[in-house]
């Protein structure tokens, strides 16, 4: 997603580590903080494709074979946030085995 396309209301700073994040909505309708800087992992299920629909940033998990080498993907902030174990709720982050 282009940074310019992200609604200002969706941009924030992580309250734990102060990193720039984007608040997104997952396929399950749950809020999910994502690192604002693009860059995925080749080896994790946390590669997210972001799309802006009606002013809401939606995040979708891509399968590893689709995500590999794709530099426009974003990574869930849960992966890198040093405080994620403190504030992350397991129910907000479920791995999806089948991509949409």
Residues that bind Zn ion (CB under 5 A): 14, 16-17, 19, 81
Taking the complex as a whole, how short is the minimal distance between the CB of residue 35 and Zn ion, in angstroms?
9
Closer residue to Zn ion in complex, CB, 14/61: 14
User: What is the C-alpha end-to-end distance of the chain, expressed in Å?
Assistant: 18
Closer residue to Zn ion in complex, CB, 17/66: 17
Query: Which sign does the torsion angle of CA 20, 79, 73, 22 carry?
Result: negative
Alpha carbon of 56 to those of 11, 15, 24, 90: distances in Å? 11, 21, 7, 23
Closer residue to Zn ion in complex, CB, 16/92: 16
Q: What are the φ and ψ backbone dihedral angles of 3, each rounded to 5 degrees? A: -55, -35
Taking the complex as a whole, how short is the minimal distance between the CB of residue 18 and Zn ion, in angstroms?
7
């Amino acid at each position: 997603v282009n940074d310019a396309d992200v609604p200002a209301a969706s941009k924030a700073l992580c309250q734990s580590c102060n990193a720039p994040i984007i608040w997104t909505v997952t396929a399950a309708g749950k809020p999910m903080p994502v690192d604002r800087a693009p860059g995925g992992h080749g080896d994790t299920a946390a590669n997210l494709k972001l799309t802006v629909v009606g002013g809401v940033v939606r995040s979708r998990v891509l399968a590893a074979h689709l995500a590999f080498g794709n530099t426009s993907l974003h990574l869930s902030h849960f992966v890198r946030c040093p405080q994620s174990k403190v504030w992350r709720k397991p129910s907000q982050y479920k791995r999806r085995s089948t991509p949409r």
